[in-house]
Amino acid sequence: MKRVALIIQYDGSCFSGWQRQKNSLTVQELIEAALFKISSQIIKTFAAGRTDAGVHASGQVIHFDIDYVIPADNYADVLNNNLPYSVRILESVEVKNTWHACYSALYRHYRYVINNGKIPNLFINNWSWHRYQKLLDEVSMSNALEGMQGEHDFFAFQKSGSNRSNSITTIKEITLRRIEDLILIDIKASGFLYGMVRSIVGQLVLVGENKITPQIFIDRWTSKKKNDVRESAPAKGLCFVNCVYKENVFKRINQNDLFPKFLIEGRS
């Protein structure tokens, strides 16, 4: 048996999330079906993070154990021939049998994209939340993020239905920036609570529209006022950008440059 790791992109618009479910099409189901087709083995895959329905990935990482003759670096091409174009394997490599896509991760990086322009943009519509009613105040939104970095209890941003024993996690970095009409919110954390990023973004938009102050935003999560956190951003603006490990197991793919570049980025 050898352990193979894959780095994957997928358009979450088509799927009910990563994890296999009854009566719903998921990314895990498609990949495991493709593995069975090429090897006639029932293979279980393990992901760095479980994306919800409608959430995208530019650099999801998974691994599986398999007893099959093809070289590990050939799995990307072989699997792509058996997958729809909404799912692409960017690279496949053999890893140590002690390496785990989820448990070996140092942190994960999610990005949320808000299109704050008045006019819809067909080319990014499925990958962004078109929030056009008001011009968002990105300065106030950035001020609301003060104090979130580090280990904290983010119970207020955890949606019901989570099976975690606690709501404590560590945010390594959280940033917000505007690039013309687009607002990009990047969060790097050791782990994410169920619905956490979308809940944070929903509250930040309230700040940006001056419906609540940055201080109210801060008080809601520091005082664990979950009942006050009712707004949540839609799934389509959220993307699992990448997962970072102590050693870079992927050689061809630069994980720091996975998310699609918008043409407006880099303009002076």
Q: Which residues are catalytic?
A: 52
* Residue 88 backbone dihedrals phi, psi, to 5 degrees: -130, 130
C-alpha 200/C-alpha 149 separation (Å) is 13
Contacts 24+ apart (CB under 8 A), 130-138: 131/205, 133/209, 134/208, 134/209, 134/210, 136/178, 136/183, 136/205, 136/208, 136/209, 137/207, 137/208, 137/209, 137/210, 138/176, 138/177, 138/178, 138/183, 138/208
Asked if 190 and 170 count as a contact pair (C-beta separation under 8 A), the reply is yes
C-alpha 204/C-alpha 189 separation (Å) is 18
